[in-house]
Chain A
Amino acid sequence: GDDDNYEFGKGNFTEHACRYCGVSNPACVVRCNVPSCRKWFCNSRGNTSGSHIVNHLVRAKHKEVCLHKDSPLGETILECYNCGCRNVFLLGFISAKTESVVVLLCREPCLSVNALKDMNWDLSQWCPLIDDRCFLQWLVKIPSEQEQLRARQISAQQINKIEELWKTNPDASLEDLEKPGVDDEPQPVALKYEDAYQYQNVFAPLIKLEADYDKMMKESQSKDNVTVRWDIGLNKKRIAYFVFPKEDNELRLVPGDELRLRYSGDAAHPAWHSVGHVIKLTAQEEVALELRASQGVPVDVVHGFSVDFVWKSTSFDRMQGAMKTFAVDETSVSGYIYHHLLGHEVEVQMVRNTLPRRFGAPGLPELNASQVFAVKSVLQKPISLIQGPPGTGKTVTSAAIVYHMAKQGQGQVLVCAPSNVAVDQLAEKISATGLKVVRLCAKSREAVSSPVEHLTLHYQVRHLDTSERSELHKLQQLKDEQGELSSSDEKKYKALKRATEREISQSADVICCTCVGAGDPRLSNFRFRQVLIDESTQATEPECLIPLVLGAKQAVLVGDHCQLGPVIMCKKAARAGLAQSLFERLVLLGVKPIRLQVQYRMHPSLSEFPSNSFYEGTLQNGVTINERQSTGIDFPWPVPNRPMFFYVQMGQEEISASGTSYLNRTEAANVEKIVTTFLRSGVVPSQIGVITPYEGQRAYIVNYMSRNGALRQQLYKEIEVASVDSFQGREKDYIILSCVRSNEHQGIGFLNDPRRLNVALTRARYGIVILGNPKVLSKQPLWNSLLTHYKEHECLVEGPLNNLKQSMIQFQKPKKIYN
């Protein structure tokens, strides 16, 4: 697709930027005129005693310069008017005795030419070009304070180092100085950064590490002997259905991923391969792959295919591009946001806007007090953080904020989130307020079904019916029918499509896309002063930067740093801090998040522990016990009106068949019994979620239930069994949590992360059952307090499900204080 040709940072780099600090104001820079050098430098001192250009000339022993073509004198090599000497260390201005005319004259020998004195020139006031280690400020301007603040803060030591490096490698950049060796641990993330270049120096290698790891992992995912089922889609494209067996590794296919399907050929068929996009993943873990090319597909062959993952660097490229833009393009974000993101101390700034009379928005539920407070505060601040604990209505709050921003008439609002699911949810809510929303999808996801299809750009392009577009539609139809167009038609089609896309996007009030999607070339000419990023605590910093560098002056980050953060596969990058979100760093820098305080999801008994342990007890209940009573559901809760229990399990953990994960047979068997009891009492499969942190256990439970389930197999198949991570952002009426780990001396792995426990405990609306070994879990302080909480409420139980008894099991002393 078009995404492939995207070059990051393209067009932002100015050739005449100071090679030390990046200042690129033409009035402030000169070019070194030594043919082997030709580098540009500015006339600011920065943190050194001489200006950058003088620093360079002295250190490199270069002596000639040329002014910028857009400077007051135009493109001019500075030279003596009399003899043509170009050594700037010898040049100075003289003026005429009677007129306001000046010329450059060299000190040796022209200044001592006697004949000059007889002319109109006043030689007594020779004014050297370089004065106080700086070029004359009226000839080459000093960059403004603002310009200098946003420039790279280069030190004298760095200057000396880079000048040394240039002697052998004239094209070296300052980044080359910082580059860690192959085996070095990367530089860890910091709280504050001198400038955007230092920021880039830290994050660029981490993104590179993650990209390399991702590539290596995905490209090693080839599968052979794949069996294919063929189909044809509505758009007449070939679809291959097959099972892409997921072993216990971290790779999870998502719609939009690209795979290559191969057939090595046989007597009747030549070798064949084609690339396609995953458009769907069925509940049976079947992959639907829409092939790009329809010609020559061996549709009568079923067995013996191979599948490879086609890795794409797009998302990583866009992160790198955003960091570069952030550094070199001073219009990328406002000065305030620039300094704030880098952790500089900036004087508090308020946004001058008239506030609306009411803070709710049409089509949305009435806001509660903390939501109103959030909307009101956000509208007045250039940067704000909203913390939305589970079930506190952050999507509604975000939608209301976007509604009011859009009504302020500052141009289009950009709304992003790291995941497509979150973007869709938000797009739907915002659209409900009556605003015109365009949901921009990656080209590779256009065939993926979406709950907000009518809002997507590609849908609108296809369906908006006006006479001017009839030609586009005609060509589209032709393309759909024939699979391809003649090259002239294709050209016409592409131009028409691009124009229509632009027109539709420009007429929207709000553009919604993923963070990575904000780097789509189709948005490259758009500017967004107001940006809202939902689920920002699940994005890496460079990912969050992509939507911000399109001109942000007001940024709202929504998320919850007490829930799971971004997933980083490369351990080295994670250790260096790539897993810390921008939201979290801003919190550490002292930005106080506005917390939404009323939760509408959990039965009040279920919210008590999370509120006390993760939110300082501030979480209030917007639902009553009555509203969360499971009437007509006959389930053996140990305490009526308290739909929760910890079910003591003493079965051993085992290493799964793949050797990289764990399972626990006893827990799995009891999960089946609990599920069956729920189903018997009238709960339907879609209401139940089984959470387990281990892929080994997940696969085992799915298998066990469908083989040993007491009821119809189909019922168990419809029950979602998944990891904590994949339940983030979602809810179920009933949650069963299988902890798996049960051993004498090893740790509890995944369960150690308090944020993961928070997510696991806050998915259920009506009831929760936790299965685990208290002896093992109680060693960890947070689990210890959870177990104590359950015990105090008489919800720590053991025995058969139909005869649960309170457990008297002794806990172990927690190892260390949880911080």
Chain B
Amino acid sequence: DDEVHVRQKVPEVDPREEANFEQELRAVMQESMDQRRQELRGRPTLNMMIPMNLFEGSTRDHHGRGAGGESGDEGLDEDAGGSKEVQVKVLVKRGNKQQTKKMYIPRDCTLLQSTKQKEAAELEE
């Protein structure tokens, strides 16, 4: 019940500061890329260990915690008119162990392009 409306000035970003920051950001990116290229002269190896059940359509989550775990295990939200968000599983490594964590990402995220296409294709069938 602590709703408060503050008339604030829109923060103005100094264009010089912005340009300066952009420059530094690019420098860090470039430096990072160069560094990697030097570090890994040889061919990178493939080390993508995927948990067995991940692509088996199993939606059961063995690692109970995560965002909105209680809101159900529906995977992609089929209700187009409803939530603007989609639940995904994020695969992470803890040392040598793999874990999946549930998370919500916006439906229009480019990351989901191919999944959406697949959905569309399925719908057409």
Contacts and interface: CB of A to CB of B under 8 A. Distances in A.
Interface in A84-133: 84-85, 87, 89-90, 93-104, 106-110, 112-113, 115-116, 119-122, 124-125, 127, 133
Q: Which of A87, A102, A339 has the most CB of B within 10 A?
A: A102
Main SS of chain A's interface residues? loop
B25 A50 contact: yes
Contacts of B114: 95, 97, 122, 124-125
A97 B118 contact: yes
Contact of B21 (A73, A139, A156): A156
B120 to A, nearest CB: 13
Nearest to B42: A109
Nearest to B33: A108
Interface stretch (A2-10, A345-353, A391-399, A629-637): A345-353
B25 A102 contact: no
B80 interface: no
A81 B49 CA distance: 9
Contacts of A367: none
A108 B25 contact: no
Q: Which of A50, A99, A106, A149 has the most CB of B within 10 A?
A: A99
A100 B47 contact: no
B8 A76 contact: no
A138 B4 contact: no
A150 to B, nearest CB: 9
Contact of A90 (B14, B33, B67): B33
A152 to B, nearest CB: 13
Interface in B61-119: 65-67, 75-76, 85-93, 100-106, 109-115, 118
A90 B112 contact: no
Contact of A103 (B7, B17, B90): B90
B88 A49 contact: no
Contacts of A252: none
A89 B4 contact: no
B74 to A, nearest CB: 10
A338 B46 CA distance: 54
A81 B24 contact: no
Nearest to B101: A73
Given A73-B90, A81-B92, A120-B55, A347 B7 contact: yes
B60 interface: no
A138 B11 contact: no
Interface in B17-53: 17-18, 21-22, 24-25, 28-29, 32-33, 35-37, 40, 44-48, 50
A99 to B, nearest CB: 6
Contacts of A112: 44
A58 B46 contact: no
B46 A46 contact: no
A58 B21 contact: yes
Contacts of A703: none
Contact of B111 (A83, A108, A120, A125): A125
A98 B25 contact: no
Contacts of B11: 45-47
Interface in A336-365: 336, 338-339, 344-347, 349
A25 B35 CA distance: 34
Given A49-B17, A103-B90, A103-B91, 5 more contacts: A58-B24, A99-B89, A102-B111, A334-B4, A344-B8
Interface of B: 2-8, 11-14, 17-18, 21-22, 24-25, 28-29, 32-33, 35-37, 40, 44-48, 50, 54-55, 57, 65-67, 75-76, 85-93, 100-106, 109-115, 118
28 contacts: A48-B17, A49-B18, A74-B66, A76-B101, A79-B93, A87-B36, A89-B32, A90-B33, A90-B36, A95-B88, A96-B55, A97-B118, A99-B89, A101-B55, A102-B90, A103-B48, A107-B33, A119-B48, A124-B113, A124-B114, A125-B110, A125-B112, A125-B114, A138-B104, A156-B17, A339-B4, A344-B6, A553-B2
Interface of A: 45-50, 54-55, 57-59, 61, 63, 72-74, 76, 79, 81-85, 87, 89-90, 93-104, 106-110, 112-113, 115-116, 119-122, 124-125, 127, 133, 138-139, 146, 149, 156-157, 334-336, 338-339, 344-347, 349, 553
